Structure 1
Amino acid sequence: MSATTSGDYDIRAIRSDEWEAVKRLRLVALRDPVAYIAFFETYEDALARPDSFYQDRAARSAEEPSGARQFIAEAPDGEWVGSLTVLVEEAGSTDLAGFAIERRQGHVVGVFVRPEHRGNGLIKALFDAGVAWARERGVERVRLLVHEKNPRAQGAYRKAGFVPSGVVVPFSKDETENEVEFVLEQPS
């Protein structure tokens, strides 16, 4: 997929040789004040991972065909300022929480935009790129899970066209709180 431009940002899929930038942005994301709600991984866990983990992640995302693709927003100075990943979930498989997947769908994970770049439509541009990629792979819908106590993220997802499906998943690090499913259905 080629890069698109959103304002001053280039939105594109990562390349396999960009694993160091993937790692840097992930570590920045995990330092965000609400990362403990938004991510299942801690900063310390991500920092302790060997470089080979990030090399493999970048290589898998850049493969064709691929069951996952990471998209980034790149500022004019080359800094990566946002990211999201879309996984293709196949009907008949199970999701990250162990629930059955009923139809081929995209699952958005790892959404992050640096605080100083929020509120300008950048997250919508990232979602547009990720959803377009998933649609090209024949998904019927795209979904994501968001912590029930993360209204900032829920608002951003609504602005990107996602709506709550009514599904609540007891799937958090401490298993005492819930994740809420948001979906974007295929337009009719």
Structure 2
Amino acid sequence: MTHVIRSIRADEWPAVKALRLAALQDPVAPIAFLEAYEEAAARPDSYWRERAAGAAEGTTERQQFVAEGPDGEWAGSLTVLVEKAGTHDPFGGAVEESQGHVVGVFVRDGQRGNGLIGALLDAALGWSWGLGLERVRLFVHERNSRAEAAYRKAGFVPTGATAAVPGNPEEREIEFEVRRR
């Protein structure tokens, strides 16, 4: 693999914005992300600056990793949120143990199938284990078989828990996890 997996820097907010907007235009975006393209595109630059700064500097809340190609183009990214025991997760459930929560996973169409998802997840897990977390989870829409296969390949297993898709309670998100070995 010729990509470098690294944390983003706060000054890279234009690239964060561009990659997020590309992700939200992907054909599976409606079932993969909880945000619509139009909503994200309308956000002011100050939002993207704050988002990048928080994701770059986070050591106990969040960290965003990017797959940077030899040409400098970002091929994909993901973010890890740290959920503290005793708080509530984005679906309204109680967090029983401090854990990492992988969100916003995206790899550009022309870069899929070359190991980038696995490399991004390895970086996310390494960062999470370095914080002392014992569990990292993520949610996959019940109809997103492509993502489910990628997460299973990376060692994530279904927990049996599900959550209603925000704004569409008839559809479900399936929880997957990996535990530190």
The interval holding the TM-score normalised by the smaller chain is over 0.9
Counterpart position of 2:168: 174
**2:32 aligned residue (38, 61, 64):** 38
Kept in 2, the 8 Å contact 1:60–1:66? The answer is no
TM-score w.r.t. the length of structure 2 is 0.97
**2:85 aligned residue (82, 91, 98):** 91
What is the distance in 1 between the residues matched to 2:20 and 2:58?
A: 23
SS of the residue 2:169 aligns to: coil
What is the distance in 2 between the residues matched to 1:186 and 1:75?
A: 29
**Shift, 1:64, TM fit:** 5.1
Kept in 1, the 8 Å contact 2:91–2:166? The answer is no
Superposed, which structure 2 residues align to 1:35-184 within 5 Å?
Answer: 35-63=29-57, 65-184=59-178
Task: Calculate percent identity across the aligned residue pairs.
Answer: 59
Q: Deviations over 1:24-47 (max 9, x none)?
A: 000000000000000010000000
The CA RMSD measured in Å over matched residues stands at 0.9
What is the distance in 2 between the residues matched to 1:24 and 1:173?
A: 26
Aligned residues: 181
Q: Deviations over 1:146-165 (max 9, x none)?
A: 10011000000011110101
**Shift, 1:63, TM fit:** 1.7
Runs of 4+ in 1 over 6 A off after TM superposition: none
Q: Which amino acid aligns with 1:126?
A: L
Kept in 2, the 8 Å contact 1:40–1:173? The answer is no
TM-score w.r.t. the length of structure 1 is 0.94
Q: Which amino acid aligns with 1:31?
A: Q
What is the distance in 2 between the residues matched to 1:145 and 1:52?
A: 29
What is the distance in 2 between the residues matched to 1:48 and 1:161?
A: 37
Kept in 2, the 8 Å contact 1:162–1:183? The answer is yes
Kept in 1, the 8 Å contact 2:13–2:52? The answer is yes
Q: Deviations over 1:18-70 (max 9, x none)?
A: 00000000000000000000001000000001111110011111225341000
Provide structure 1 residue ranges, at least 5 long, that are not aligned to the other structure: 1-6
